[in-house]
Chain A
């Protein structure tokens, strides 16, 4: 069998095998045929066809060159050869054939586009532009060509033309995402953000699954200053493509820009996990840690940065800045605690029961009373001396004056001392409590800072101290009278106790009212002091109301302290039983004053005391 025949049989076999789908065998047969008679046109033709269809591009290229040796002006052949060479990775040969093809047939848009793309790929944009313009001139409605030309012109820094072409491509194929994204990118690069945004929004509207589209939208929104929208877009992109390190990086930068430092740090962490060697990422991560004051973390990142690129001045400066900040903070006044101790979790305390609360209140009032007495001792030299001296002086003075005026006999009984004593003691009990409670709040400011202490406590404590003091003073005075032989024991202890309790309550109730009034009218204590002086003359201390004309006595009978004095007096003098004395009047007034005082104090408590 001649070579000629064998080659022809191989060719037929190869063709048949190819059509049956046995590509490997088809290629084998084509090789055999090509080895036998490569110079023969129909053999080379078939081999080139089989080779290129079966992906054997290098051999296909050889076959096409063989064919072109026979038919050098076959433009389509040059185009095929160029394609095969390009696929085989030999771009120089591919370009040379491509140019020949386009030069042989300048009216083929496809040929010109093909070589243009090749030239663009190898980085010869100027030559690429020539061919792409040829393609565009032949077929001005081909969006693909326009886009490629636009990209090339942009590389050649003819941005305006590039943008115009890109926009024309978009206009020709409004639904093609590639053209749209290309145009958007060029618009972004030429600072035409709003137009870019319009185009990208159009793209992602149609292509809802396009991560790249959303990434670009995010960039656009960021450039337009709409950081929140940018964040929404990148979140969508990350949802579509969750493992893109660059997306995480971009998101982290957005969060940083929004001041959401913790989230930013977390996003940087994700990006760094996906792309551990990116120094730009680390630099940004450092910045976010620095801004959030997490200097230890910032320093750790800084260490990695400097370790990876020791000669980078900018990184070194950033790390130095962190170190400086850290030193500034170490410089401050502080206490080193070392590692934090392990702790057991406290069991919450339940709210105290009413009895526990009452016990606490009693404890507080007691503590305050002790403090009051201490303070009184510490504040004046005389201390409690004055408490004793004051009634003694009063009684002495009244006794002297009236002993002369009354010619030796008091209105009741036969002892001046006891008569005035029975007037002064209830009067003082009322005046002392009501007056000193008036400024209990203002003089206890510091103690009121203690959470346990309320205004009620300080007012109450002050009142109780006064009552107790006056009672003790009364007992001492009586003892004193006995000592000088002029003592008299009360005959009716129930009346004694009743009158003391009633007047003490009246004093305390009035004291609460006074304390509240004094919080709002600062000079109330002075007015009150004047009122007590008037009271001194209206309370039957140095006279008996019975000595007065009826109409005056009827007026004086409105004074509860007068009843207190007469009640107290009646317990000492059995024959003294005045018909105007109304014990229940005093009791009711005392109860009312206590109720009013406590009610006012409770209701206005938060206004009584303004903390510093």
Chain B
């Protein structure tokens, strides 16, 4: 369960201040998968990072009653000069996981072969994403945060990810940001709309999509 209590977050941009969250208090119950909807620039990624704890709110607190993953979808935490193995070792050590199990799992899952022992600098974007995906799955989180995972390898690898996630979703929740309506419907049973600094929760992803659809039309 994730509880946002009076959370505000403001960004200074070139065009003045941008309010991402304005005194928001919502609870993401455990046992449900949430899909986060919002127009581009509404601050979905910021919300994900606030939930993860990668960012701290300007005001208020984010309470986490679960082991929350790092936001999945960017391989940005990898150090380019280090090999995939060294990077995964670091993450395993960081989260206090069993090193050997994690390394074996990632090596097996990511399917990047001998690149696993080469510097991450030499990877393609797809390989980085695979490594990130695999290392996130290798760690046992209660809540996975996924931010716009789009191109993870070929169709076969995507199927594999889906199967792995399906298995994992029996004991973990996800909060998902994506523009792909089909993915949202497949993974999520509840919805959240982020607009104008407020979050509206919906018990049905369908209703959230309906409202969001309407919102987008209005803004056109």
Contacts and interface: CB of A to CB of B under 8 A. Distances in A.
Contacts of B70: 449-452
B93 A363 contact: yes
A379 B120 CA distance: 13
Contacts of A291: 210, 213-214
Interface in B151-180: 151, 158-159, 161-162, 165-167, 169-173, 180
Contact of A451 (B31, B66, B68, B206): B68
Interface stretch (A175-183, A222-230, A329-337): A329-337
Contacts of A333: 150-151, 180
B119 interface: yes
A343 interface: yes
Contacts of B66: 346, 348-349
Interface in B13-58: 30-31, 49, 52-56, 58
A264 to B, nearest CB: 10
B65 A350 contact: yes
Contact of A292 (B58, B65, B182, B206): B206
A351 B183 CA distance: 32
Contacts of A370: 89-90, 93
A368 B70 CA distance: 16
Contacts, number: 155
A48 interface: no
Contact of A293 (B77, B119, B206): B206
B170 A375 contact: no
B161 A344 contact: no
B186 A293 contact: no
Given A259-B218, A346-B31, A334 B213 contact: no
Contacts of A367: 90, 93-94
A611 B180 contact: no
Contacts of A334: 180, 182-183, 186
Contact of B96 (A343, A360, A449): A360
Contacts of B52: 451
Contacts of A294: 206, 210
B119 A378 contact: yes
B191 to A, nearest CB: 11
Interface string A394-436: 0000000000000000000000000000000000000000000
A336 B156 CA distance: 11
A597 B165 CA distance: 44
B84 interface: no
6 contacts: A292-B209, A332-B180, A341-B169, A346-B171, A346-B172, A451-B68
Given A262-B211, A341-B167, A342-B170, 19 more contacts: A259-B214, A291-B213, A292-B209, A292-B214, A293-B206, A293-B209, A332-B181, A335-B158, A335-B161, A345-B30, A345-B31, A348-B66, A349-B142, A351-B65, A370-B93, A371-B79, A449-B71, A449-B74, A611-B54
